[in-house]
């Protein structure tokens, strides 16, 4: 039956691929695709059927054993690290080769090579952001300064390449067959490029949008609607933390003038609102078994194949297990016999924009400190499938690459905006994870973090000795207050970063008195922290819900922490809805809304603010809030003028504290509106939308209405995706499962004498859509369940799917 389903899904996918190929000017070779000996039929077998007991791998020093459990999770047992990572590369490529290559080609701005001219603008943007450039810098830095790490990354690449070299046409991953191209060799550069790609996925900035907003509404109103700290700031590092260091003084220069430019460019894509992560650790004094417990669930785009690939990696010195990034060495989020760690996004502004003035059309010189200095031109050849190459010239200044100019998204002569970004600087993030993988204590954890620079991350820690910790880690620029919030003058040296905050002065805490550490993408600290920090995307709800539960909890078990990861409570709704209902009542009474409106009101009155998949109230609230938010701020939206709008937290505060504010007035209407008028109008729009949904689609229960879906990395490959996942939660909720984003990996570990761990992610170990291990975790994940994730010994023989011996 599975083969039949696979056949029909493939036919649909091939049809979509043909449509895509017609846009590219080429059509996939259907004869080869349908060849019974080499075509898609050979991808209909799962890995347990095609497994080999023995594999020859050149350059191994000693035998390596890989034991696969019932979920296709490999447990690699090697005698040394070089063998360990060589086999990790080979095994990962066995199951995720196409994904590894596709993601790094996207990071390098090479998607046009696969899909043709429709991706040229995407590739131009990627190259202009400097991802490939920054990976090249990292390769050179590690080769020159850390030959041991470089040797291990080379071993990983060698493992990948030996798999590629032995790959038959029959075993070629299906996507290569459909899109008609071949894998190319892996390299150190590609592994480091993958880590830069993650930095790009997790960073945002709205400098250009704030610049427009400042000119539109003025600095006073901007400061009111976008305060530096919220009223209810519950930061990553506990507010009572005393900072015991002497900060580097940073003084704002006098007479600062920002460029007075109206910015009419389509700005960089930003991370999806609500994308972030949760992590926390509780001290032994708060747990039932007297052992520290750690939990982590990164919230990212929900894709197939999954972003993560689970593994255990063992040498005689250490055994580590958790989630890997296919293409990178070691475990990214996981635990070993002594320590556990996890990561969330620290959402710090580490990208700034500078306006550049060129001397002439050649762009070989630009103005800095009132002198013309030399720029560097980088020629980017974008190869395009079925078409001639597209040549782009990217200008590099000392600030960084000029992303926007009159040749790209800017139509005016004065649009020359350079991007300064910490990810462009030399770094060695790979070393951080390799050191964490074999770390033994808090000191090792801190030492490992000293190599991590970008993206800014909150690293949580717990150990078998009962220690817990949190550190906000990254290379953070020293800025005067307000610096980097708006477009800056690239000619004026006063706008330069003042240096970097020393790593030892980054916000951190160790065994705090409250008995837990946590982060959920909120502000890193209270206002007492002596350095300026800013970001537009700090979280205001998940963090407070998480900390409230942890403060009140005692005798915590690992089951409690699993439930907390899947917590469905909608704190935003619990604070906003009573205000909205009160204003609705003021607007004229509930009896005027008809049968449907009154039914919806009654349902909302009864709501317990959970977001279970079978509830209808979340659909009502979310639709109502969507229309209300748009009505309030639509007056400032402009397709040609990018702006930033107040977040939902500040919008709720405005509804509560200033319901008569002129900010609620709709400029084009003939009356002067107050908050209650917009609440009433948005309620009526909600009634109309939900009524239409009922008439066309039936029940508006939350799972159906939200429509969570896990999409293949190639959007056209619809039948390799999974839609209508039956699960609850939403953005801003601890179970942050939205339509396309959510917990991409969940794990919980109790660091007792006998370590107990559970983990899950929404996908499967296999990257092959024809395998039964392609999506077998999805239902478990959607239900909030887990699989056993305990460390496995080499002598364990229970629940073995198969094993492979690697020899030279």
Contacts 24+ apart (CB under 8 A), 388-396: 390/112, 390/117, 390/120, 390/123, 390/124, 392/124, 392/127, 392/128, 393/363, 394/127, 394/128, 394/130, 395/356, 395/358, 395/363, 395/366, 396/130, 396/133
Flag the least confident range among 268-282, 304-318, 568-582, 754-768: 268-282
> Is 349 annotated in some ligand binding site?
yes
Closest to 265 (Cα-Cα) out of 484, 417, 485: 417
DSSP state of 623: H
Asked whether the bond before 305 is cis by omega within 30 degrees of 0, the reply is yes
Closest to 273 (Cα-Cα) out of 616, 705, 625, 509: 625
- Provide the pairing of β-strand 756-760 with 787-788: antiparallel
**Crossing angle for the helix pair 675-697 and 648-657, to the nearest 10 degrees:** 130
Residue 716 CB coordination number (10 Å): 20
Flag the least confident range among 46-50, 171-175, 267-271, 594-598: 267-271
Dist. CA 40–CA 179, nearest whole Å: 12
The pLDDT of residue 640 is 82
Q: Assess whether pLDDT exceeds 90 at residue 674.
A: yes
Q: What tokens appear for 374 in the block?
A: 């030399």
Q: Assess whether pLDDT exceeds 70 at residue 567.
A: yes
What band does 42 get if pLDDT is binned at 50, 70 and 90? Answer: low
Dist. CA 726–CA 723, nearest whole Å: 9
Q: Indicate the pTM of the whole model.
A: 0.95
Q: Assess whether pLDDT exceeds 70 at residue 659.
A: yes
Q: How far is CA 635 from the centre of its chain?
A: 31
Q: Assess whether pLDDT exceeds 90 at residue 756.
A: yes
Residue numbers annotated as active site: 277
> Is 467 annotated in some ligand binding site?
no
- What DSSP string runs through 414-428? T--EEEEEGGGS---
594: left (phi over 0), alpha (psi -120 to 50) or beta: left
What band does 649 get if pLDDT is binned at 50, 70 and 90? Answer: very high
Residue 534 CB coordination number (10 Å): 19
Q: What is the mean pLDDT of the chain?
A: 93
Percent of the chain at pLDDT > 70 equals 94
Q: Could you tell me if 787 and 780 are in contact, meaning their C-beta atoms sit under 8 angstroms apart?
A: yes
Task: Give the dihedral of Cα atoms 516, 520, 521, 522; nearest 10 deg.
Answer: -70
CA–CA distances in Å: residue 714 to residues 13, 20, 623: 10, 10, 29
Q: Could you tell me if 461 and 281 are in contact, meaning their C-beta atoms sit under 8 angstroms apart?
A: yes
Dist. CA 808–CA 469, nearest whole Å: 42
Q: Assess whether pLDDT exceeds 80 at residue 237.
A: yes
């Amino acid at each position: 039956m599975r083969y039949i389903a696979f056949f029909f899904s493939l036919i649909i996918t091939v049809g979509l691929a043909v449509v895509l190929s017609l846009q590219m000017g080429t059509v996939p070779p259907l004869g080869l695709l349908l060849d019974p000996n080499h075509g898609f039929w050979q991808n209909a077998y799962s890995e347990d059927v095609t497994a080999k007991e023995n594999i020859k791998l050149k350059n191994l020093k000693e035998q390596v054993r890989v034991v696969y459990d019932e979920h296709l999770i490999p447990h690699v047992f090697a005698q040394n690290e070089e063998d360990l990572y060589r086999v990790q590369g080979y095994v990962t490529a066995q199951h995720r080769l196409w994904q590894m290559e596709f993601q790094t080609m996207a990071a390098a701005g090479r998607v046009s090579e696969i899909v043709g001219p429709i991706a040229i603008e995407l590739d131009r943007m990627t190259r202009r952001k400097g991802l490939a450039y920054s990976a090249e810098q990292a390769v050179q830095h590690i080769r020159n300064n850390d030959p041991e790490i470089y040797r291990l990354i080379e071993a990983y690449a060698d493992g990948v390449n030996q798999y590629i070299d032995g790959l038959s046409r029959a075993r070629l991953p299906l996507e290569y067959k459909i899109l008609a191209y071949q894998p190319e060799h892996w390299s150190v550069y590609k592994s480091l490029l993958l880590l830069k790609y993650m930095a790009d996925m997790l960073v945002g900035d709205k400098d250009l949008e704030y610049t427009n907003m400042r000119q539109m509404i003025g600095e006073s109103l901007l400061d009111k609607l976008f305060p530096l700290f919220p009223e209810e700031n519950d930061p990553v590092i506990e507010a009572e933390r005393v900072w015991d260091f002497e900060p580097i003084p940073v003084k704002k220069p006098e007479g600062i003038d920002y460029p007075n430019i109206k910015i009419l460019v389509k700005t960089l894509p930003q991370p999806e609102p609500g994308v972030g992560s949760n992590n926390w650790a509780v001290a032994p004094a708060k747990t039932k078994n007297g052992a520290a417990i750690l939990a982590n669930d990164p919230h990212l785009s929900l894709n197939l194949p999954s972003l993560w690939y689970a593994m255990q990696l063992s040498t005689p010195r250490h055994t580590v297990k958790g989630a890997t990034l296919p293409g990178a060495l070691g475990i990214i989020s996981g635990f070993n016999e002594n320590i556990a760690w996890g990561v969330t996004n620290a959402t710090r502004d580490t990208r700034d924009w500078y306006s550049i003035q060129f001397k002439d059309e050649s762009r070989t010189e630009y103005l800095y400190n009132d002198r013309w200095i030399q720029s560097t031109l980088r020629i980017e050849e974008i190869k395009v499938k079925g078409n001639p190459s597209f040549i782009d010239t990217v200008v590099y200044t000392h600030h960084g690459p000029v992303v926007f100019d009159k040749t790209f998204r800017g139509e005016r002569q004065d649009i020359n905006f350079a991007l300064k970004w910490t990810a462009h600087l030399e770094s060695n993030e790979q070393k951080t994870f390799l050191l964490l993988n074999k770390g033994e204590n808090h000191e090792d954890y801190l030492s490992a973090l000293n190599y991590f620079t970008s993206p800014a991350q909150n690293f949580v820690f717990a150990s078998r000795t009962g220690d817990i910790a949190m550190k906000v880690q990254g290379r953070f620029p020293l800025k005067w207050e307000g610096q980097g919030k708006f477009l800056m003058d690239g000619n004026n040296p006063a706008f330069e970063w003042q240096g970097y905050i020393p790593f030892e002065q980054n916000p951190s805490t160790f065994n705090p008195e409250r008995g837990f550490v946590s982060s959920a993408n909120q502000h890193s600290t209270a206002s007492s922290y002596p350095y300026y920090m800013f970001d537009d995307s700090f979280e205001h709800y998940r963090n407070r819900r998480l900390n409230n539960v942890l403060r009140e909890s005692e005798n915590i078990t690992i089951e409690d922490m699993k439930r907390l990861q899947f917590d469905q409570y909608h704190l935003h709704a619990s604070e906003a809805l009573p205000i909205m209902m009160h204003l609705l009542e003021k607007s004229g009474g509930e009896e005027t809304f008809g049968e449907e409106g009154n039914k919806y009101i009654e349902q909302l009155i009864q709501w317990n603010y959970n977001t279970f998949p079978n509830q209808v109230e979340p659909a009502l609230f979310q639709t109502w809030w969507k229309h209300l938010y748009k009505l309030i701020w639509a007056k400032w939206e402009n397709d040609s003028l990018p702006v930033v709008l107040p977040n939902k937290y500040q919008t709720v505060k405005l509804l509560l504290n200033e319901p008569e504010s002129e900010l609620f007035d709709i400029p084009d209407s003939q009356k002067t509106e107050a908050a209650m008028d917009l609440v009433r109008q948005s309620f009526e729009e909600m009634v109309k939308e939900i009524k239409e949904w009922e008439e066309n689609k039936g029940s508006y229960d939350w799972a159906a209405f939200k429509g969570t879906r896990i999409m293949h990395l190639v959007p056209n490959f619809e039948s390799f995706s999974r839609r209508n996942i039956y699960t609850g939660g939403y953005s801003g909720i601890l179970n942050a499962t939205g339509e396309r984003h959510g917990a991409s990996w969940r794990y919980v570990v109790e660091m007792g004498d006998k370590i107990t761990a559970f983990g899950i992610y929404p996908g499967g170990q296999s990257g092959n859509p024809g395998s039964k291990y392609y999506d077998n975790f999805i239902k478990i994940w959607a239900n909030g369940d887990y699989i056993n994730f305990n460390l496995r010994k080499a002598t364990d023989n229970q629940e073995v799917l198969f094993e492979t011996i690697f020899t030279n």
